[in-house]
Structure formats: C-alpha cells, structure tokens
A and B are shown apart, each in its own frame.
Chain A
Amino acid sequence: MKANGTVHRYGDNVDTDVIIPARYLNSSDPKELAAKCMIDIDKEFVGRVKQGDIIVAGKNFGCGSSREHAPIAIKAAGISCVIAETFARIFYRNSINIGLPIIECPEAAREIEAGDQVEIDFDSGIIYDTTKGTQYQGQAFPEFMQKIIKAEGLINYINSSRN
C-alpha cells in the first residue's frame, strides 16, 4: 500500500472543532462533511485538495471531541494519509477504525513543507519527500492495527474474523 500526493501543512493542536465544526454535525454524510473539512482553520482547503493529497501537522493532531466525523471528513476530502508529530488518542483510534492511514513521525512532521510532493510506503513506514529528496522512517503499526487498516476498518475486520 502506497500514498503519493501534495502536502497541506498545519501547526500544533489542530482540534476536531476546526477539522469539522459542530455546526455541521447535524449531518453524517461523508460528502457533506468533506465539503466543510478544515473550514475554520483553512477556508481554501476544500477548493485546493486533490485526491491522494497528504496532511502534515505538528503535535496532538485531532485533539478535542471524539467526533469520528473528523477523520471521515478528511478521508472523504481525498486525503490519503496524515503525518504528525503526535496524534490525540481518540483521533488516532478513530482513524484506524475507519481505515484512514496515519503516521507518527516527528522529524518528517517538522521538516516537510506545504506544497512538497510526498510518497509513503505503509508496509515499511518510509516517507519520501520527492521535492526535497529527503527520507524519513515513520512508526510502523503493530500487527493488530495493520490488520484493521488492511481490512479498511474495524467493522470489516470484525466481520471477517467472525466468518
């Protein structure tokens, strides 16, 4: 599994209220959520994002509310992976549970810039910034989490392990 796309960059403590503000939580349709993704921190994001793009951010990405609408909105907006220094824990498990790949890599999170082209190999955890020619080793998932991501989420994983 690989991802390849242009980077959108944000700082520390990006909370789920700015990823998808509560005023839009009266919908749970991924398309509607994607149309408002990041609106309170970056109004241009929705117009700019292309299928396969990558978000790079600082510490504690996805802090705050447990709304799964946040990773759903990001995934439905076309983002193929989020790289951050650290993730807030509920966002972390939500992303795994819905099958949105996320990688913790402090070095990459600090150095990769907005607009860079980045390639990620999920099996090895290697992040390659093709614009800069730099390479980083991201944290690989424990086997159990890899299985959930490969099954494209917890529900499929449970269904298949019961069959």
Chain B
Amino acid sequence: MGMTMTQKILAAHAGLNQVTAGQLIEAELDLVLGNDVTAPVAIHEMEKMTVKKVFDKDKIALVPDHFTPNKDIKSAEHCKCVREFAREQEISNYFEIGEMGIEHALLPEKGLVVAGDVVIGADSHTCTYGALGAFSTGVGSTDMAAGMATGKAWFKVPSALKFVLKGKPAPWVSGKDVILHIIGKIGVDGALYKSMEFTGDGIQNLTMDDRFTIANMAIEAGAKNGIFPVDELAIQYMKEHSMKPYHIYEADDDAVYDEVYEIDLSALRPTVAFPHLPENTRTIDEVGEIKIDQVVIGSCTNGRLNDLRMAAKVLEGRKVAKGMRVIVFPATQKIYLQAMEEGLLATFIKAGAVVSTPTCGPCLGGHMGILAAGERAVATTNRNFVGRMGHVESEVYLASPAVAAASAVTGRISSPEELDFSAALSSQSESLKAEREE
C-alpha cells in the first residue's frame, strides 16, 4: 500500500520499509525543542531518569521566548533553570535574548530544521516546520525529557487529509486566510490525530512565509502535523539558511487519504476567526461592524518579514485610529533588524504603533499587551480561546497582518481594500517632499 509523505518520513526514521496508519512506532529524532515554559518541567523529569546526559548536545534547541525578557521573578527562575541546564549539558543551540526569537520562526531561520527531519518540540506549534517538508509535531514536557535522553519518541502513525491548493490568491489574501478558511471548513478537530498534507500547483503562489503560517496552524485543526512538498523555493530557503543535508520525501501516487479537499486560492477572501475558536470564521464581507481596542501584529504565525512588510504597506503614511493600541512584535532579532533596515519599524512608529522586542508576550496573554474585561483585539496570532490574551471576558479576533493593520487604521475590523492607496501614496510623497524642503 502506498504511503503519505508523513508516513514515508516516519518509516525512514523507524528503520522500516513500510508503515501503516495506526501502527505504533519508535522513531529517531533529528531535533528536540523546548521553551521557558515547557523545558523546566522536562528538565525536572529528566532528573528522575537513569540517563543523565542528553543524547546529542547539537540536536536539542532551547529557546526562552514565552516570558522573556523575564516578566517576573518566577519566569526569571524558569529561564535560569533552562540556562543552567544548557550550560551543564553543553547544549549548542541555546538562545539568550540577544540572539533569540520566537522558537518556530527562529529554528528554520537558524537552519536547525530541514526537509525530511523528524522533530518534536514541547510546544504545540512545532508543526510549523512542515513548511520545509519536515515531520514536526508538538509534544509535552515528558516526551521532551524522554527525547532529550534517548533521541527517540513513540508515535502512532497518522492517516492523512489531502488539501489540493489551486490558483493564485488575490492581493491582500495571504497564507493566514488560506489556513483560517480551511479550519473554518473542517473545524478545530477536523484533522484530529491526522496529517494535513498540502499539494497542488497553487503552492507555487505561496511564499515560504505563507507556508510557515499555514503549517503553524495545522494544530488548530487538531492535526498531528501539516506538511508541504519540497519545491525549488523550499530548497532555496534551506540553502540560504542551513548547512544540514536535507532529504526529500514524496507521497506515493497510491497513498491513501481519509479525505481530499480542493481549495481554489483565487476564490478566497480575507478571513477572520471570531471568538472563541479558530473555526468560527467569516469572510471580511460578513464581519459587520466590530469595534476594537487593540491590534497585535506578530507571533510565530505572522511575525515574519513578509508579514511586517504587508502591515507596513497598509500603515505607510497613515495613523492608527485615535485610542487604538497597536503592538507589533517581530518574531526574531534578525527579522527585527531587517525590518529596521527596510524602514518598516519607522512606518509603524510614525503610524502610532509600538514595536516590541521578539517575545511570545501578548499571544498567550503572558505580558506586553494583556486585555481587560470587555476589550477586543484583532491579532495575527493563532488562538482566540477564552482568556487567551487576558481577561476571560475579553475577545480575540484572528486575522492576517493586512487585515490587522487596516483595522488599526479604521478602529473596527476592516479590509485593506477599504483604504484608498492612491491617496495614501500621494500624501506620503507630499510629506516626503515637505520634509526635504524643510
């Protein structure tokens, strides 16, 4: 029987020629990831083990990103625990704040994950690296501890859903709209225990950043992993970022899928997920009048350079609505620096937004932008559960960077299509002229 792309990667890492859905296997790991919330629990678990050394100091990544720069004394203690463990075990991929980023943006950027890898991370959005053609999945801290000690993890081989992407998305429609549309269609448990395998010639119209966003939110449909075929663009990305050898796996022609969905990218509209589940999606045309208090642009979902460029394009020469709090947090130090060099940060600040250092911060209601009771935010993050960004009576609406930026300008959930770009550009060139004349 044919295997899916995911099944092929798992079979190769389990030393088997063939695996089938439902089979329990033990697979070799290429990378084990943890952060400042999950790693301390894993480190504590590892202390109970008879194995005292990690299996390979170069195959573990520790990224303090959730409550860093340290939010309070307790989080400082957690980061200290991770830091000391990294030092004792001589972990090569420990990232202190000056070189860090949000883990799922950082690992591909540092070249730590390539196509064909099997990666577990004690963070649910570890599925992000499927964009590169790797099998990566979120686990808990005990799995992380066992993985660090043994270099192996147990898996139940997943069955798969196939998504055939066709056509080219319209301007202002991005990877975020694609994945929100899919989650709206299949529900938050629509891919439970399964792989989401993306194929089709529409993929060539998606940037790597779009693909990272899509794979990132596979977990929001309950999936074990999301995965993309490895094309020229992915190879180019890996060559630019990594020295690691990569392996390309392709699904067999006779691979079995539980379900096949065709998605016409050209028909998609900017899409928003209403509280309190990512499946509560509406197209921008069905949103109605929703006034907001805060806009958050960033996270492991949408804090990459293209996301910031998109937001800056909307905010260029404009001001955020009076009373609106707009927080931009680039996902890594490198993205932050590039955004600065491209002048994007200046655009945000002139528009009246604040720009934060890379951190998970507001995404999980940690710090840097917590909501009070009754407040509403549009966020480019991935979850809008009850209390996710603060008070249990606050609300989070998930959207793309373009929609988030347009909403910042109008003060209600809006599409950039509502804004007049010809006017913005001319007023911008006039203000430039005025600046020069001064």
Contacts and interface: CB of A to CB of B under 8 A. Distances in A.
Interface string B141-158: 111011001100010000
B264 interface: no
A64 B278 CA distance: 10
A162 B123 CA distance: 27
B267 interface: no
B contacts with A: majority SS: loop
A162 B386 contact: no
A64 B388 CA distance: 10
Interface stretch (A47-55, A83-91, A113-121, A131-139): A83-91
A94 B142 contact: yes
Contact of A94 (B140, B193, B392): B140
Contacts of A94: 139-143
Given A26-B78, A28-B44, A163-B50, A13 B140 contact: no
A94 B144 CA distance: 10
B142 A59 contact: no
Nearest to A24: B74
Interface in A27-44: 27-28, 40-41
Of B48, B139, B142, B146, the most chain A CB neighbours within 10 A belong to B142
Contacts of A26: 67, 71-72, 74-75, 78
B224 A89 contact: yes
Interface in B43-90: 44-45, 48-51, 66-67, 71-72, 74-75, 78
Contacts of A27: 74
Given A68-B38, A144-B24, A155-B45, A60 B189 contact: yes
Nearest to B382: A64
A145 B74 CA distance: 34
A13 to B, nearest CB: 6
Interface stretch (A1-9, A14-22, A74-82, A122-130): A14-22
A104 to B, nearest CB: 11
B123 to A, nearest CB: 6
A154 B72 CA distance: 32
Contacts of B123: 65-66
Given A22-B366, A66-B126, A88-B189, 16 more contacts: A15-B385, A17-B365, A21-B387, A22-B365, A28-B78, A65-B364, A68-B38, A69-B37, A69-B41, A89-B193, A89-B224, A90-B124, A90-B139, A90-B219, A93-B140, A158-B149
8 contacts: A15-B383, A17-B387, A23-B365, A63-B222, A65-B123, A68-B38, A98-B140, A158-B149
Interface of B: 24, 37-38, 40-41, 44-45, 48-51, 66-67, 71-72, 74-75, 78, 121-124, 126, 138-143, 145-146, 149-150, 154, 188-189, 192-193, 219, 222, 224, 277, 364-366, 383, 385-388, 392
